[in-house]
Amino acid sequence: MVCLPWMFALVIAAGVHGSPLLPRLPMEDGCYKVSPEVEIFRVEGEAVILHFPMFMRVLEVRKIAPPPAEYLISRSNGTDQTTYRSEGRVQQQGRELWFLPARPSDSGEYTCTYRNETYCVTGSITLHVYESSSVDIEKLSYPWPAFVGEKVEFICPSLDCFNNTDRSIEWYKDSSPAPLRPGRATLMIPAVKRSHAGVYTCQLTVLINNQQYKVSRSFLLHVKGWCCAISLMYEPFPEECRPDYTVKPPMIVSPINGTTFESSHGSGLELFCHVLTECQLADSTVVTWLVNGQSVELSYLDMRALQGGRRVTLESERCQIELRLVISIITEEDARTEMKCVAQNAGGRQEVVTMLQLEDTTFTWLVVAVVMVSIFLAVISAFVYVLFKPKTTKKTDYILARQSSSFSV
C-alpha cells in the first residue's frame, strides 16, 4: 500500500515530461473535427477504396485512450444520413469504404467518426466519380513536371489497397490501344525528351471477394527546358517556367499551427514536420525549420540543434515528406522560442508556427513532495503506534495453599 502513491507520482512525472501541448480542434455536434482529406477523382465502373489518412493521423498523434470504439462511415444527403454495412456494392471494411464498383451517383462527401465514452473525433473526404463519356483528364490525372534529360519514374499508386492479379498491370500513353510495358508497377523514362510529354495511364485488374475489378491511374507529363530546374528554387518564377496546369501547394499535416512543445530544462527534444505533396513534386519541394524566423544554422540554436533525416513515403496517393529537428538540450533561453516549419514548391508555400515552452515542474514536484510527506507520516504513525501500544495482562490461575506445613490425608 505504501508503494502505490509513489508509483502514481512517477506516472504523473513521466506523463508530463516532454509532451507537446496540442491545440484544441474545432468541435461540431459534440465531436472534434479534423481538416478535410484531399479530394478523390475517379471514373465509373472501377473499384474505389476510400480511407482517411489525416483523420487516422490525428488519432495516432493524440494517442486516443481506450475504451476502443468502432469507426462509423456515413454519407450525408441533406437531412438524410446513410451508413454502410460490410456487404453490398458499397460496403464498410474497418476504417475504409469500398465501392464495388463506383458510380457517378456515389459522388459526395463521406464522414468517418470515432467515438467512445470519453472522446469523439470526425473527419471527411469528398469523392468525385465521372462518367466514362465525360472524363476530365486534368482532374483524373496527376500532373507531373519534368525537365529535359531528367529521369522519370511513374509508380502506379494505390496498389497496396488491392490484391492485383498476376501480370495484370499495363501502361498506355495518350489514346494508343497498344500497351507500353505490361506486368510492372513502375514505368521508367531514363532521359525524358519533349516528345515524351503526354498522358500515361496504368491499368490493372484487382481481385476483391473473388471478383475481378478494373482500376486505373493517369499521369499528365509536362516537359520543360533544363534552365527551369534552377529557376523553380526561387520566387518569382520566370513565366516560361511556370507550370501550365494547376499545381496544389504542399500541405503541412503536422505539427498543427499553434502547437506548443513542452520539455524540461536540461532534456532533449525531437520535432517532426510532415508535409503532403504531389509525388512528382516531392524532390523539388523544400521543407525546412526556422528558429525565430531564421534558419537553424544562423539562429542561436546553431550549436544545439540539427535538422535532417528527410524521408519521403507514399501516403494516400500523395507523397509525405518528413523532416526531423533535434535539439540536444533545452535551456531557459529557449522559453517562448518560435519554431516554424515551412514547405514550398512550384504550387505555393505553407508554414506552420509552433512554440517551445519549458515544463513547469512545480506541480510535479509538489505531488512528489505530498506523497513523500504522506509516506513519512504513515511510517511515523506506525512507529508511534507500536511504541505506545498498551500491554495486555495474561490471565493466571492461582492456588490458595494452607499456611500450615502439615497435610491431612
Give pLDDT tens digits for 180-206.
866 677 888 888 888 898 888 888 888
Residue 408's pLDDT is 46
Distances 242 to 107, 191, 338 between C-alpha atoms, Å: 32, 21, 33
Domain count for the chain: 4
> Over 60: is that where the pLDDT of 389 sits?
yes
Please indicate, yes or no, if residue 294 is contained in any of the structural domains.
yes
Structural domain includes residue 98: yes
- Domain of residue 92, residue span: 26-135
By residue count, the chain amounts to 409
**Helices (H) and strands (E) in the chain — how many of each?**
5, 27
Return the higher-pLDDT residue of 346 and 2. Answer: 346
Which tens digits make up the pLDDT trace of 311-333? 888 776 788 899 988 888 888 88
Does residue 402 fall inside a structural domain?
A: no
The strand ranges marked E within 198-257 are 198-208, 211-224, 251-254
Identify the pLDDT of residue 239: 55
- How many Å apart are CA 139 and CA 221, to the nearest integer? 14
Kindly state whether residues 154 and 209 are assigned to the same domain: yes
Q: Tell me if 15 is assigned to some domain.
A: no
pLDDT band at 227 (very low <50, low <70, confident <90, very high): low
Q: Are 199 and 219 in contact (CB under 8 A)?
A: yes
Query: Is residue 21 in a domain?
Result: no
Same domain, 295 and 376: no
Backbone CA torsion sign across 81, 84, 85, 89? positive
In a domain, residue 399? The reply is: no
DSSP-based three-state secondary structure for 66: coil
Selected residue with higher pLDDT from 339 and 179: 339
Q: How many CA atoms lie within 13 A of 259 on its CB side?
A: 20
Q: What is the pLDDT of residues 82-94, one digit of tens each?
A: 888 888 999 999 8
Are 336 and 251 contained in the same domain?
Answer: yes
Same domain, 82 and 185: no
Q: Is the pLDDT assigned to residue 14 strictly greater than 50?
A: no
- Last residue within a domain, chosen from 135, 161, 195: 135
CA–CA gap between residue 191 and residue 252 (Å, rounded): 32
The span from the CA of 208 to the CA of 102, in Å, is 14
Same domain, 251 and 354: yes
Strand order in the sheet with 90-93: 48-50, 96-99, 90-93
Exposure of 396 by Cβ count < 10 A (0-12 exposed, 13-18 middle, 19+ buried)?
exposed
Contact predicate 238/179, CB 8 Å: no
Q: At 108, is the pLDDT very low, low, confident or very high (cuts 50, 70, 90)?
A: very high
- Domain boundary at 241, 262, 283, which? 241
Q: Is 262 found in the same domain as 349?
A: yes
User: What does the pLDDT read at residue 111?
Assistant: 93
- Domain assignment present for residue 17? The answer is no
Neighbour tally for 376: CB within 10 Å: 10
Same domain flag for 119 and 90: yes
The pLDDT of residue 367 is 64
Final residue in a domain of this structure, among 241, 267, 290: 241
Could you tell me if residue 203 is inside a domain? yes
For residue 64, give the DSSP letter. Answer: P
Any idea what the CATH number is for the domain that residue 93 is in? 2.60.40.10
DSSP secondary structure string, 313-329? Answer: EEETTEEEEEEEEEES-
Max mean pLDDT among 40-44, 76-80, 165-169 falls in 40-44
Return the pLDDT at 377.
Answer: 80
